[in-house]
Amino acid sequence: MQFWKLMLRLSLLLVLNLTANVAHATPPFGCAPGDQDNTCLTAIRSAPIPQPACSTAAGWTTAAAAVWIGSQWSQPQCSFQPAPTCPTGSTQTTAPAWNGAQWVGLVCAPPNKGGGDTKQMQDQCLALLPPTGLQLTPQTQVTDISNPPIHVVAWEWSPVLGPVVVTSDVWRFDCFFQNGVGPQIEFFPVNTDTPGGEGG
């Protein structure tokens, strides 16, 4: 009988000891995400992690933004569009500009369909001179009067001889290509008695 009482007491002491250990290890509140261990006494804290983003420089766009995946950000999906350029042979007259989503505003002057060579283009112009009745003289000079902003390549030949108008046989002969189309010609008498030398 004494033996069984002793065993009962020992068993009771063992149960009480285990219960006390469990009570000590378990706090009066549950463990929340971010807490350090099963004691839940110290929570893990850190500074906010900034969301990565694509470059805001010209040409860059965001195809897919970064998303939070529990402990870190995913990488954003970025794409780059290089600035457009004019086709071979044409001339850029206005540079492209980035509007945040795409490049806009590129303006190109088309290549000259007259062959692109100045000598060839001038020869095409002068081939139209004889039907006008005008003639070049040793004093005739050619002047470049091109206007690139409106895609005009042009020359002036002056003075040239032509029919007498009033008292002068001095004329001016102009020839131009616009947007690669030409040659087109204009000619008119020059009044040498008028200040500036041109009239008619």
What pLDDT does 174 receive? Answer: 94
User: Where is 7: in which H helix or E strand?
Assistant: helix 2-25
77-80 vs 60-64, strand pairing mode: antiparallel
Longest alpha-carbon distance in the chain: 157
Chain centre to alpha carbon of residue 141:
43
Give mean pLDDT, residues 57-72.
89
- From the list 153, 149, 152, the residue with the least C-alpha distance to 94 is 149
pLDDT tens by residue, 161-195: 988 877 788 999 999 988 778 889 999 888 755 43
The rounded distance, in Å, linking the Cα atoms of 107 and 181 is 17
- From the list 197, 118, 17, the residue with the least C-alpha distance to 126 is 118
pLDDT tens by residue, 109-156: 766 554 457 888 889 999 999 898 899 989 999 999 988 888 888 999
The rounded distance, in Å, linking the Cα atoms of 114 and 121 is 6
pLDDT tens by residue, 27-58: 445 555 544 455 555 555 667 788 899 999 99
Residue partners of 161: CB distance under 8 A and separation at least 6: 134, 135, 136, 137, 169, 170, 171
What pLDDT does 199 receive? Answer: 39
